[in-house]
Amino acid sequence: MTSRNTDHNPNVQVVNEDSENNVLAEKIRGSLESELAQNKPEDDAFHTINVMQNILDGEDLLKYMEQTDCCTCDRCQADVRALSLTKLPSKYVVIRKNDTSPTISFYREKYRMDIISTIMRAAEEVKAHPHHGQERN
């Protein structure tokens, strides 16, 4: 085996024997695999989401509240949101972070009418019994 340092870079070593090249290649491969494992992208991570809450967060509550002549103050908006979430069934799914958008799109189409009607009923109830301006215990 003969090896020499290059004139341009003292950290680079040229090895002329095949078996020594295999050893160096294995060390390089091992080092790269280790580095990749440490820098694993978050995209492969799983997380749990409540589909109904995620879809509700994307809906324009103000539009539906205005259609029912419900007050649109911050407190009434919060009450409509909370009441809607209480009335909707929880639908939890475990998905990869990159798959959130397609999954939500699928369920949005499936449950859209249920969610809208629940928001409308909640707005009617909040309109009938508003809590704004009141301190609640």
Please identify which residue in the block is written with the tokens 């009450």. 79
Supply the pLDDT for residue 31: 73
Residue type, 52: M
> In this predicted model, what pLDDT tens digit does every residue of 71-119 receive, in sequence order?
999 999 999 999 999 999 999 999 887 777 888 888 999 999 999 999 9
Does residue 32 or residue 49 have the better pLDDT?
Answer: 49
Q: Are 26 and 15 in contact (CB under 8 A)?
A: no
Backbone angles phi, psi at 50, to 5 degrees: -90, 105
Residue 76's alpha-carbon distances to 35, 57, 82, 91, 92, in angstroms, are 51, 15, 10, 25, 26
pTM for this entry: 0.62
Written as one string, the DSSP assignment of 24-70 is: HHHHHHHHHHHHHHHT--GGG-EEEEEHHHHHHHHS-HHHHHHHTT-
The answer to whether 47 and 95 have CB atoms below 8 angstroms apart is: yes
